[in-house]
């Protein structure tokens, strides 16, 4: 049985509202009042979905595509993407300049920003053919690297690693075009969807495969070569953050490792530091912690652990752990 509400308590709501609004003052850094609109999260996600529909035609939302109607379908998407990308990129450019101290009286001053936003939108759309070629190689890497896969369609349909890498490659193109804000929105949405966190600033080569994927972290200044395979829980991160004389973080430096070609990194390995290089054709075993450069053709593993259990009789040979690498 529902309890009757007390109208006297509800009379406090205007006072509570006033108390909340009073916190929205000029020095409050977590409001965006009186400024040009920000990029819209829902629109950015829809842009990603439409781009994936173009990158993988027939695999996503639209069924019944064939040679006779695919041009019409893609043309509609490209036209719509042009308009929405222009708007969202323009908003991001305006926001970035405002944050950096550029004075703007109102959003009607945004004509030049809109022209730049349109140019960036066209540049991204022009890169789609090249992106499709790179992603096809990522699909090949997954197929060649996972014996459980029966065909490449399974990878496109099902693999969270390919989903995360697809969004990364889109976001990275925008990052290269110096678009603020939106690339990070895209990568964090992919992180939420897949559990894989790839900063859009990372540089990743061809034939890249993330197997299983959950918990993978790849930092902003990480450089990854071609034919690299990593497993779940791998962290390619920073060893420490340099600070200036005022104690502020120094930004724009290389903080994350370099992974050369033909490297395999097994589950839960942690590789840290901007000066750390994993040489080509190396194998990094699971659960290792690496903060120094590894020469090419190396194998890095933990010493064989030995399990001990007290207050019971245990055949310890059952718990021998051997790396299969």
User: Do the domains at 34-197 and 202-243+252-325 have one common CATH topology?
Assistant: no
CATH 3.40.1190.20 applies to domain 34-197: no
- Could you give the residue ranges of the DSSP H alpha helices within the chain? 7-10, 13-21, 41-55, 70-99, 111-126, 128-145, 152-158, 160-176, 182-194
Q: Where are the domains of the chain?
A: 34-197, 202-243+252-325
**Residue in the structure block whose two tokens are 């406090």:** 12
Second-level CATH architecture of 202-243+252-325: 3 Solenoid (2.160)
- Residue 284 pLDDT more than 90? yes
* Tens of pLDDT, residues 49-102: 999 999 999 998 888 889 999 999 999 999 999 999 999 999 999 999 888 877
Say whether pLDDT at 316 is over 60.
no
Identify the residue with better confidence: 3 or 249: 249
- Residue pair 44/182 in contact (Cβ under 8 Å)? The answer is yes
- Residue of higher predicted confidence among 114 and 99: 114
Lowest-confidence region among 7-11, 290-294, 297-301:
7-11
Q: What is the reported pLDDT for 106? A: 62
Q: CB count, 10 Å around CB of 165?
A: 27
Mean pLDDT of 189-206: 98
| pLDDT confidence bin for 324, thresholds 50/70/90 | very low
In the predicted model, is pLDDT for residue 323 greater than 50? Answer: no
**pLDDT at site 105:** 62
pLDDT at 307: 76
- Compute the average pLDDT of residues 143-159: 95
In this structure, the strands spanning 258-259 and 223-224 are parallel
Owner of token pair 């390919």: 162
């Amino acid at each position: 049985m529902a309890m009757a509400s007390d109208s006297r308590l509800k009379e406090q709501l205007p006072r509570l509202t006033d108390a909340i609004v009073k916190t929205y003052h000029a020095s409050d850094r977590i409001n965006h009042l009186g400024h040009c609109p920000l990029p819209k999260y829902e629109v950015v996600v829809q842009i990603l979905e439409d781009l994936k529909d173009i990158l993988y035609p027939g695999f996503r939302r639209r069924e019944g595509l064939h040679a006779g109607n695919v041009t019409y379908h893609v043309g509609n998407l490209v036209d719509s993407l042009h308009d929405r990308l222009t708007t969202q990129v323009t908003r991001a450019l305006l926001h970035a300049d405002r944050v950096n101290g550029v004075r703007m009286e109102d959003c009607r001053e945004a004509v030049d920003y809109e022209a730049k936003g349109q140019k960036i939108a066209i540049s991204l759309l022009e890169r789609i053919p090249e992106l499709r070629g790179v992603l096809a190689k990522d699909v090949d890497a997954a197929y060649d690297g996972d014996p459980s896969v029966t065909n490449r369609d399974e990878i496109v349909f099902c693999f969270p690693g390919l989903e995360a890498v697809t969004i990364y490659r889109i976001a990275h193109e925008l990052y290269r075009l110096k678009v603020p804000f939106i690339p990070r929105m895209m990568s964090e949405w992919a992180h939420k969807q897949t559990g894989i966190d790839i900063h859009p600033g990372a540089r990743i080569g061809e034939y890249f495969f993330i197997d299983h994927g959950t918990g993978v972290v790849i930092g902003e200044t990480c450089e990854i070569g071609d034919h690299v395979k990593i497993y779940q829980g791998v962290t390619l991160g920073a060893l420490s953050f340099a600070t200036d004389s005022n104690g502020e973080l120094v930004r724009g430096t290389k903080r994350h490792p370099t992974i050369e070609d033909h490297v395999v990194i097994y589950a839960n390995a942690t590789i840290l530091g901007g000066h750390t290089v994993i040489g080509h054709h190396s194998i990094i075993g699971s659960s290792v912690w690496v903060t120094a450069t590894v020469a090419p053709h190396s194998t890095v593993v933990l010493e064989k652990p030995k399990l001990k259990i007290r207050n019971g009789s245990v055949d310890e040979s059952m718990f021998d752990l051997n790396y299969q690498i």
